[in-house]
Structure 1
Amino acid sequence: MGQFITKPCNVKDVVPGMTVGKPVLGNNGRVLLSEGIILSQRIIEQITNWGLQQIDIQEINQSVVDHVQELEECARQTRENYENSLDKLKIYFEQTRRYKKLAVASMWELAHTLIGQLTNTRGIISFLLMLERKDDYTLHHSLNVSILAGVLGKWLGVTGQDLEDLILSGLMHDTGKALVDINILNKPDKLSKKELEVMRYHPILGYELLRDNQELSEAIRLGVLQHHERMDGSGYPLKLSGGQIHYFAKIIAIIDIYDAMTSDRVYKSKVDPFSVIETLNSEMFGKIDAEFCAVFLQNISNYLTGKFMRLHDGRVAEVVYFDSVSHSRPVVRTEDNEFIDLNRNKDIRIDEVIDV
C-alpha cells in the first residue's frame, strides 16, 4: 500500500500547494517540471502559458489515511482501556490492604473485560514497552503480567476457560503484596534479611486471600502461590521443583521476570528487552520452564525484528535477523548500511530500543 497515488487533473482545477505526481514534459520531451514539485501560483500560470490541459497530481492514498486513523484510534482505545484497568485495580488493592479481603468478583470482571481486550490488542507489547508508568510499580506490574500471561498463553495454545483463568491468575499473582508493610514494599534500598523474608511470604498471603473462594479454579490459586518457584527447587516459598509446579505458575514466572526487568522500580532502572532476553536465555535451563521460555523468546524475537535501537556508540541500527540460538544478540543494519552480527561483536552493546 503506497503512501501516495497519482491522479490526472485538469490544469484549470489545479491550485497552489498541490504536488506534481509525474514529470511534466514539453513537446520536445524535455522535463518542464520534475515529480515532487509543489505548485505555486506562478508555476500554475506558467503551466497555463505552456498550453497544457492536464497534469498528474500526487495525492495521499486514502487507504493510507484510513489505516493511520485506524492505528491512532486503536492506540487511543488501548491507552483508555489500560488507564481504566489501572484505576480499578488501584481501588481493589486499596480495599484489600484496608479490609484484608480481596474483591475477587471485581477482579474477575476486570480480567474478562478490559484486560481481555488488551490481551487481544494489536501492538500491545509495543505499548507496554513504551508506556510511561506512574509511581505504583505493583499495580502496573500486576496489570502487565496479566496481559502478557494471556499473550504467552495464546502462543502456547491455551484457549477458552483455561486462558481466562490464566489472565486472572496473572492479575492476582501479587495481591499478597497488598498485605505487606508499605515501607518494605516501597523501600528504595536493598532489603534486609528479615525484610526479604517478609517480602518472600507474599505468594502465601495471596493464596490465603483466594483459598476459601470456591468459584476460583485451583489452577488460579496455584499460579498465585507458585509463581516464584523454580524448576531446580531454588525458588520460594515452598521450594517446589519441576513437575510439582503448575503450568500457570511456569507461564507467570517468565512474564514476571520480563516485565520486572523492563520496568522502572524504586531500586532499579529498567533495561532494554534484549538484556531481558539474555537473562531469560540463561535462566531457561534449570530455573524456568525451557519449553515455555523458548516459545516466548522466539515470538519476542520475531516481534523485535525490524525495530530500531541505539548502539552504545550512538549509531542507530535496525534489527534484521536473529539466529536460532542467540535471541539477545541479533544481526543489525546501521544507518550507513553496515551489517553487524552482535553475536560475533561482543564489544558492541545495545543501549536502548528507540522504535518498538
Structure 2
Amino acid sequence: MVYSKSYSVKDIVPGMTISKPVLGNKGRVLLGEGIILSERIIDQLVNWGIQQIDIQEINQTVAAHVEDLMECVRQTKENYEGTLDSLKTYFEQTRRYKKLSVQSLRDLADNSILQLVNTSGIISYLLMLERKDDYTFHHSLNVSILAGVLGKWLGITSQELNDLILAGLMHDAGKALVDINILNKPEKLSGKETEIMQYHPVFGYELLKDSKELPETVRLGVLQHHERMDGSGYPLKLSGGQIHYFGKVIAIVDIYDAMTSDRVYKTKADPFSVIETLASEMFGKIDAEFCSVFLQNISNYLTGKFLRLTDGRVAEVVYYDNVSYSRPVIRTGDNEFIDLNKNKVIGISEVIDV
C-alpha cells in the first residue's frame, strides 16, 4: 500500500517521490505530486525555505507495488479514452448542427478531466500516448488537462481552475466550423486556407457568445489562445496586458502539446526540443512568468529519465544547471557525467523512458 509521510527537508534524499504538491507562500505550486527528488530539486527546496514535505511511503512487496502502478495506469487510460470518446461525440455534433453543447462539455471538464488533472504522473502519461489518429480530439483533451495542471502550478484553485480547464477543452472548438479538407490537409496550407484556419478562434468565440452561463474569461481564453505578447499573434493582434491570462496559459500548453504529438505530416519532437522552443519564445512571444513555471515543473518530471544520445549511447538525466532546461547534465552507462549545455557536440535524439 502507498501512503504519505511528512519529512523534514533536511532528512530527504534523492530518489524519494513527492506525494502532495509543495506550495509557496502565495499558494502557488512549486513542485507537483509524483515528482522524483533529485539533488537539484532538494537544493531548490532549501533555497525556497521549505521545511516540511510529504513523501510517498510504500508498505508492501515490490510485486504488489508494481501491480498497483499498473492498475493506476489502467484506470487513467480508461478515464482518458472514455473522455475522448465523449469529446468526439460533442464535437461531431457541433460540426453537424453548428452549435456547441456547452453544458455537456462543462460536465466533462468538471468531472472526468478534473480527475485526470489531479492524477499523479499525468504528464508522463500524456508523453507516452500514441495518437496519430484523431489529432484534433486528442489535442483538445490534452490542452485541457495541461491547462489545468499549469493552472494548479500557478496557484489557481476552485471554480477558476474549472473554468480554465473548460477554456482549454474548447480552445479549438471553432475548428468544427472550418472546412474538413482544410483541417485535415496533410500538405502546407495555401495563403487563403491559412487565413481561414487562423479565424478558428473567432469561430469558437461565436459558438460561445450566446452561452449566458459561461463567464467571459472562458470565451476570452478561446478567442485569445493564439495571441502573442509582442502583437504578432492572431486573430486580433493583441499584445501584453491586452491578453487575458487564460489565453496566455492556453498558448503555452497548446504549443507544448502540438510539438509533443505525432501528426499525419510530422513526427513528435522530444520533450527537450519542445522545452528549448518554449524557452526561446519566453521573451516576446509568450508570458515569461507563466512559461518559467511550466518549464521548471516539466523539467522536474524529466529528471531521472533515460535518453538516447546522438552518438548512440544511453544516459540518465541527473540535474539541470541554471542556464538551460533543454540541455541537462546526464550520466552515461559508464558513469561519465556530461553537461550538455557545455558540450554542444552531443545532442538528444530521443527520450526512451518518460
Query: Do they superpose with TM above 0.5?
Result: yes
2:118 aligns to what?
120
Please report how far the alpha carbon of residue 267 of structure 1 lies from its aligned counterpart in structure 2 after TM superposition. 2.3
Matches within 5 A, 1:66-105: 66-105=64-103
Q: Pick from 312, 331, 334 the counterpart of residue 333 of structure 1.
A: 331
The residue number in structure 1 matching 2:133 is: 135
Whether contact under 8 Å (1:230, 1:287) holds in the other structure is: yes
Cα distance in structure 2, aligned partners of 1:71 and 1:114? 20
Correspondence for 1:110 = 108
CA drift at 1:132 = 1.1
Cα deviation 1:195-242 (Å, max 9, x = unaligned): 000000000000000001010010000000000000000000000000
Alpha-carbon separation, structure 1, partners of 2:239 and 2:290: 16
8 A contact 1:274–1:328 mirrored in 2: yes
Matches within 5 A, 1:291-310: 291-310=289-308
Residues 187 and 266, structure 1, Cα contact 8 Å, conserved in 2: no
- Structure with higher Rg: it is 1
2:348 to 339, 347, 350: 350
Quick one: distance in 1 between partners of 2:343 and 2:91? 46
Cα shift at 1:65: 3.0
Distance in 2, Cα, partners of 1:200 & 1:349? 34
Give 1:314 shift.
1.3
Counterpart contact for 1:108–1:168, Cα < 8 Å: yes
How many residues matched?
Answer: 297
State the superposition RMSD in angstroms.
1.1
Amino acid at match of 1:240: L
Match of 1:243 in 2: 241
For the residues of structure 2 that align with 1:92 and 1:243, how far apart are their CA atoms? 33
Q: CA deviation at 1:345?
A: 1.0
Specify the alignment match of 1:5 in structure 2: none
What does the per-residue CA deviation read over 1:53-86, in whole Å, with 9 as the maximum and x for residues that have no partner?
Answer: xxxxxxxx84433322221111000000000011
- 1:212-223 to 2 correspondences below 5 Å: 212-223=210-221
> Could you tell me how far apart the structure 1 residues matched to 2:131 and 2:110 are?
23
User: In the alignment, what sits opposite 1:9?
Assistant: none
1:102 positional shift: 0.3
Q: The residue matched to 2:120 in structure 1 has which SS?
A: coil
Contact persistence 1:190–1:267 (CA under 8 A)? no
C-alpha contact (below 8 Å) 2:217/2:244 kept by paired residues: yes
2:235 matches 1:270: no
Deviation at 1:134, TM superposition (A): 4.6
TM-score by length of 1: 0.82
Partner Cα distance (1:62, 1:112) in 2: 34
2:108 counterpart letter in structure 1: L
Q: Does 1:202 align with 2:195?
A: no
**1:286 and 2:284 aligned:** yes
TM-score using structure 2 length: 0.83
Question: How far apart in 2 are the matches of 1:62 and 1:269?
Answer: 40
Note the C-alpha offset of 1:335: 0.7
Aligned counterpart for 1:176 among listed residues 174, 177, 191: 174
Q: Distance in 2 between matches of 1:239 and 1:324?
A: 33
Q: Secondary structure at the match of 1:152?
A: helix
8 A contact 1:148–1:255 mirrored in 2: yes
Identity of aligned residues (%): 79
**CA separation in 2, counterparts of 1:207 and 1:324?**
40
Counterpart residue number, 2:10 = none
Match of 2:41? none
| RCO higher in structure (CA 8 A, sep ≥6) | 2
Name the CA distance, whole Å, in 1 between partners of 2:110 and 2:252: 22
1:230 to 222, 225, 228: 228
- Ranges in structure 2 where 5+ consecutive residues have no aligned partner: 2-58
**Counterpart secondary structure, 1:332:** strand
Return the letter of the residue paired with 1:142: S
Q: In 2, Cα distance between the equivalents of 1:267 and 1:109?
A: 34
Letter in 1 for 2:334: D
